[in-house]
Structure 1
Amino acid sequence: MKTNHAGIWFDPLEFTEPLRVKIMQAIEFEAVVQAQAIPLPNSAVLSPGQPVRVVVMYELTPAVDQPEPDDDAILRLARHPLVMAGFNPLSREDAHAR
């Protein structure tokens, strides 16, 4: 083991092997997630079982139809009450009288 000018230990034999270079193709596209899957465009020619590296970028806006993980039906109704024609809620007195 030797040390370089910054005092970092390294093995000079580690650098004697040739570098292995991976050449990768990049495809950039926009898609909508469907059933936990992202459909690829037709121009993406991939073989079944071919290894790929995937980077998913998305905006931090929650989906309209997706409840939050700690959400339940009561919270959803409190946040977005149902509007029904002809519905008259009970007054406080009528609610307490029942």
Structure 2
Amino acid sequence: MPKNIDFLSELARYNAINGVSATFSEMKKTARRLERAFNDRLDKAIEASEFIKNAYDKEYSDHTGETAVAHVMNPAECDHHVSVARRLAVAA
């Protein structure tokens, strides 16, 4: 494994392969954070490219939108709609 890994190039390669658009400034900031995390990792055997893929997937994994869409599509199971129905039943 190389001693000095160019995380900016690795990140740019990952973005190009996966169609991720990011400005140069965003990539520099992300590369610095990835490098710090890579140097502090517990599993020393993992390769930099695999580390970037795993870290990138974790960083941009956000289920908020999926949850919001599920609530709109099925309001009966949404906590908010259930509590509103309960309050309306009490008020009636």
Q: TM-score scaled to structure 2, two decimals? A: 0.25
Q: For the pair shown, which has the larger CA radius of gyration, 1 or 2?
A: 1
Q: TM-score scaled to structure 1, two decimals? A: 0.25
Q: Which has the higher contact order (CA 8 A, sep 6+)?
A: 2
Higher-helix-fraction structure: 2
Higher-strand-fraction structure: 1
